[in-house]
Structure 1
Amino acid sequence: MRLMDGLVNLVSGMGTGRDKATGASYTHRGLSPAEIMTAYKGSALVRRVVDLPAEDAVREWREWQAEADQISRLEAEEDRLGLKGKVLEARKLARLMGGAAIMIGDGATDPAKPLQPARSANGGLRYLTVLEQDEIAPGPLGMDVMRPDFRLPLYWTVNGTAQRIHPTRLAMFWGMPRLGTMHDASTMAGRGGSVLNGMLETVRNVDEVAANVLSLVYEAKVDVFGVPNLMENLRSRGDRYAEEVLSRTRLAATAKGINGMLIRDAEETYEQKSASFGALPDVMDRFMQLASAASGVPMTLLFGISPGGMNATGESDVRAYYDRVRVQQSLYTGPAMAALDEALIYSALGERPRSLHYTWRPLWQPTAAERANVGKTVAETMQIAAQIGDLSPEVISAALVNGLTETGAFPGLEAAAAEFRAIGGTEPDEFEE
């Protein structure tokens, strides 16, 4: 006797062997790297599904919370290393192929040893190299449940060489989040999965529907020409008559195309059949919605169109998508860059201030009016703080300048204030001449 959980109706056959739905099951067919790359290069929609979340994750980048000169040095170090571009490249490769890594180059003679960020002080971080998942091979997995590297590779090897790299020297990015389970083959192999697994068919359906609609356009108008006794003459006169009929229709088509009129025998009939496209937009819209749901990218961004419905702008969908990107930044991108960031801080500042941290900038870009309102709120808040009297004027001034600059209400205000302070500290007699 077979035991199962679920809804069964013996009268209607639902949930029994008579139910056709019981024959459905999920299967997984892994995509080969060649299939993935072909889809990425051949379909603009697939490319957008892969690239857009990665680009949005680094578009506004991050905001260091530190003193002004420390922020300038950190941002200069990021620019020197091309960090933002490296992270973007790694995120795209990870989403497309399943995984990627950024190798932290600090000039160590033996990269098989753990990374020591303090040794990167004062420009010691020399380079960052993006590696595809297939360019490095994982070593044996740690199977000691009492260690933090449980089910993680103990080391990585560069393919084609015997060079081992310690995991702390690699900022690893994954496409699909790796599940720490023995039932996930990619996890046990130290690999990640492409985001196209499970969604490529849904996305491809949109391209297929669009291609079929295009084919229907060529059949939008069909000329129907009636010839008296056609079948009887074909049987009696054969190929010679068939050639005469074809010659006749070609003559009619040529005359109609040149002179805009149709010449036909009195007994011949002619009519035009037009295809109906009334339901096709709804069909395409449903497939586009499915692709949007599978990819997690709202239709407003994926296809550049607003959703249907009264007063529907898609703003709520975009905000929800940006919240999802923020989750990716906080739970995956940030932790993946933890060791890299430590080396970056030492390389830029020569030390590790305990209070130093960063926040991801908002993805939703405010309008000029919204920025002005935020600036007004910041100024009013600082005014209230000054009236309370618990903070010195210098602290309030510095906070106000920083707040108005970071909110975008007054771009460049911080640099102008620093220049003004520098001029104010100059001896007056230097300007008298």
Structure 2
Amino acid sequence: MVNVITLFRDSLTSLVSRMGTERDKAATVFYTQPVLTDEQIIAAYRGSWLPRKIVDIPALDSCRKWRDWQAKKPQIEAIEEEEKRLNVKGKVLEAAKKARLFGGAAVYIGTADEATNAPLEVDRVSKGGVKYLTVMTRRQLKAGEIDRNPASEWYGRPKDYTLDSLTGEHIVIHPSRLVLLSGAMAPDEDMNTALNQGWGESVLTATLDAIKNADSTAGNIASLVFEAKIDIIRIPDFMASLNNEVYRSKIIERYSLANMSKGINGTLLLDKEEEYESKSASLAGLTDILMAFMQIVSGAADIPVTRLLGQSPAGMNATGASDMKNYHDRIQSIQELEIQPAMVRLDECLERSADVKDPDVYYQWAPLEQMSEKERADIFKTTADAARTIVGTTSGQEIITREAISKGLTNRLVEDGVLPGLDAAVEEYGPIEEQEPSEEELAAAAAATKPLPKPTA
């Protein structure tokens, strides 16, 4: 017989409570690698309104006001007409939604050039050269080998993408032909274990637990509503008589009739020995609990509750202006730091397809918050007063020439949108220096107004 001696070292480790182990009960959080399959993503988006809004709202807000082109009026009209023909706004919105949902999407720039595996040569795009735009997700586009050349424009990104057609053909697409949107950043993109190599992650990956908690809380509260009032009736010898099948059917029939009579005239008929009691559950505070979970979802999605739930700000003197301002700043960051860089080649192709080849043409994202008429008037007055102050003179010398102030003021008023059509009017009638009289004209006017000398006797 062999005696087996087992040695335990204490070190504040408990096998019962697992204190000091990796599953310590005192630990508040235990992180694991989140795995969210495409089927789960689609089911969450289709089956719950919270995931759908978390995916759709930032993408919609990034595109709903779109952008304002800064150019000559005929150029703006040509570019905007080309945007409408190709449905640029709708395609970018679709790609932004799918990128947030699946972790990556792209808009393919379709031109007459059929060599999809070669870089797109923007200079060769002529008028009407952009034929179509097609939205594809990472489920359709397979990323190729990652470019590790630090001198390459595509360093750290796939060298190409492969699209499997319905005929089984593998179509290789160069990244310059795609407007690439990657969803949430994947922190392990440089590791061989990255789940979506070359793409990002779904925005639902980090928010799904908060969404599930909120949905579960709402479901439990809905169940409690149906049990808020319970009628309790005590029947003599009830349990002892349940073995009798005739008794069971009679008792069900008897209280079905009792409930019917109660519902009709509010009277409940009972035997003298039966006891009736009604208990109501308190639902006070459940709304606060649910809203606390909604606040967590709001923070996880980085969307204000007022925008996520579509409700007015609550509380005394609450306006929600600060929350919405922070949110609009975030949307502006998405526009300028994610969407705009991804659309650089598309915009260049769009200008050439609209037959606009002016390097001074640019655009600005339209603000999400629209100014009131009073705010516009205040901006106009403040800007005009500042211009008059700068034009003032010191010791008879102008600080800044009127011509320079005129051009700067015109640009500012056009960008602020307080005087629509001002740039077109200046182009038609000329700037201020072209309208003011010359020194010769001023001297002639002064001489004409000078009084004639009195005749001598």
TM-score, normalization by structure 1: 0.83
TM-superposed CA distance for 1:377, in Å, is: 2.9
TM-superposed CA distance for 1:34, in Å, is: 2.0
Partners of 2:42 and 2:134 lie apart in 1 by 21
Partners of 2:24 and 2:46 lie apart in 1 by 41
Partners of 2:12 and 2:292 lie apart in 1 by 31
1:106 to 101, 108, 111: 111
1:154 to 143, 152, 159: 159
Partners of 2:153 and 2:428 lie apart in 1 by 51
Stretch of structure 1 that moved more, 46-55 or 211-220:
211-220
Partners of 1:255 and 1:318 lie apart in 2 by 55
Paired position in structure 2 for 1:289: 295
Paired position in structure 1 for 2:328: 322
8 A Cα contact 1:186 1:192, kept in partner: no
8 A Cα contact 1:386 1:393, kept in partner: no
Stretch of structure 1 that moved more, 269-278 or 223-232:
223-232
1:268–1:85 distance in 2 versus 1, CA, 3 Å:
same
Partners of 1:130 and 1:314 lie apart in 2 by 36
Paired position in structure 1 for 2:69: 64
TM-superposed CA distance for 1:308, in Å, is: 4.7
Pairing 1:17-36 to 2, within 5 Å after superposition? 17=21, 19-22=24-27, 24-36=29-41
8 A Cα contact 1:346 1:352, kept in partner: no
Cα deviations by residue, 1:237-270 (Å, 9 ceiling, x for unpaired): x222222222221121111112221111222111
1:23–1:386 distance in 2 versus 1, CA, 3 Å:
closer
TM-superposed CA distance for 1:307, in Å, is: 5.1
Paired position in structure 2 for 1:193: 201
Partners of 2:80 and 2:402 lie apart in 1 by 29
TM-superposed CA distance for 1:395, in Å, is: 8.2
Query: Larger Cα Rg: Structure 1 or Structure 2?
Result: 2
1:263 to 258, 263, 269: 269
Pairing 1:179-328 to 2, within 5 Å after superposition? 179=187, 181-183=189-191, 185-186=193-194, 189-234=197-242, 238-306=244-312, 308-328=314-334
Partners of 1:403 and 1:79 lie apart in 2 by 28
TM-superposed CA distance for 1:333, in Å, is: 0.9
Stretch of structure 1 that moved more, 164-173 or 29-38:
29-38
Q: Tell me the percent identity.
A: 40
TM-superposed CA distance for 1:19, in Å, is: 4.2
Output the amino acid matched with 1:321.
Answer: Y
TM-score, normalization by structure 2: 0.79
8 A Cα contact 2:376 2:418, kept in partner: yes
- Does residue 1:55 correspond to 2:60, yes or no? yes
Output the amino acid matched with 1:362.
Answer: P
Cα deviations by residue, 1:338-387 (Å, 9 ceiling, x for unpaired): 1112222233344241x433322222223333233223334444555666
Partners of 1:262 and 1:413 lie apart in 2 by 80
Pairing 1:324-363 to 2, within 5 Å after superposition? 324-353=330-359, 355-363=360-368
1:349–1:14 distance in 2 versus 1, CA, 3 Å:
farther
Paired position in structure 1 for 2:181: 173
Kindly indicate which of the two structures has a greater share of residues assigned to helix.
Answer: 1
Pairing 1:412-423 to 2, within 5 Å after superposition? 417=425
2:92 to 87, 90, 97: 87
Output the amino acid matched with 1:291.
Answer: V
1:165–1:352 distance in 2 versus 1, CA, 3 Å:
farther
